[in-house]
Amino acid sequence: MRNSLIYKAAFVAGLGALSSLVVSAPAHAQWAVYDAPNHVQNLLIAARELQQVTQQAQSLTNEATMLANQGRNLANLPYSTLAPLQQSIIQIQQLLGEAQDLGYNITSIDQAFSQTYPGAFRSSGSAVQMLDDAQTRWQNARAAYQDALRLQAGVVQNLDGTRDQISGLVSASQSAEGALQAQQSANQLSALQTRQLADLTATVTAMARAQALEGARQVEAEEQARAQMAAFLNYGAGYTPGVAQMFH
């Protein structure tokens, strides 16, 4: 009995102490309350914002990649064959300009054909003048063949440079970073082909000049021979008999 009374007294004392603690606590203290629906809503909002930020970052990355690609497409080709091409064309032009005797001038050609390459020979012309004209025509033909050979030699010398230029352009085209570099390489290859066509045109022109002068020489030689033969056969009225007086 005594023990039960002691337990009761202790229990009452404990309640009293707990009551005093509760009463002495600040009046503004509250218990935390977990709002599950509001928490889920906040998570959804945060997820949407994160998704938007991710999309914006991806968009900026794509724009940066596009700008980088545009920069590569607009980059100039670091290899150029313009100077060697111009130099080779100038060399061929110089060889054409060095044509000996009867060159590529229309006025001089017309004058030469009216004097040295006449359409007909006069029987009254001197043999010395005919010989001089024939010698001039022969020299023109010979010089034209020499000019054609010199021009062909210049074109052959350009082949080494052409090979190096083609190799450089093909390598530059294969390693092109963008569309502009590839297009510039193609343009330079087209220019190189144009120069080769120019070399071929110059070669054909020089050979045609030599053949034309040789043909004109042969035609004039035939005409001169015909005129000389006609002059030789035209010995006048011939022998006319008359009265001879031996003694006076």
Residue range 3-21, pLDDT digits in tens = 454 444 444 444 444 444 4
pLDDT at 124 over 60: no
Q: Report d(CA 214, CA 142) in Å as an integer.
A: 8
Q: How large is the average pLDDT for residues 105-114?
A: 86
Together in a domain, 159 and 63: no
Q: What is the pLDDT of residue 64?
A: 76
Domain that holds residue 196: 82-232
pLDDT at 54 over 80: yes
Q: How large is the average pLDDT for residues 126-153?
A: 89
Together in a domain, 59 and 172: no
Q: How large is the average pLDDT for residues 65-81?
A: 73
18-27, 168-177, 197-206 — which one is most confidently predicted on average?
A: 197-206
CA distances from 188 to 82, 171, 240 (A): 8, 13, 84
pTM (2 decimals)? 0.60
| Burial classification of residue 215, based on how many CB atoms lie within 10 Å of its CB (0-12 exposed, 13-18 middle, 19 or more buried) | exposed
Task: Tell me the average pLDDT of the chain.
Answer: 77
Together in a domain, 162 and 203: yes
Together in a domain, 102 and 211: yes
Together in a domain, 64 and 89: no
Sort residue 184 into left (φ over 0), alpha (ψ -120 to 50) or beta. Answer: alpha
Least confident of 4-18, 58-72, 104-118, 205-219: 4-18
CA distances from 151 to 101, 157, 206 (A): 16, 10, 7
Q: How many domains does the chain have?
A: 2
pLDDT at 239 over 60: no
Q: What is the pLDDT of residues 173-182, one digit of tens each?
A: 777 777 778 8
Among residues 46, 73, 100, which one ends one of the domains? 73
Together in a domain, 90 and 186: yes
Together in a domain, 195 and 212: yes
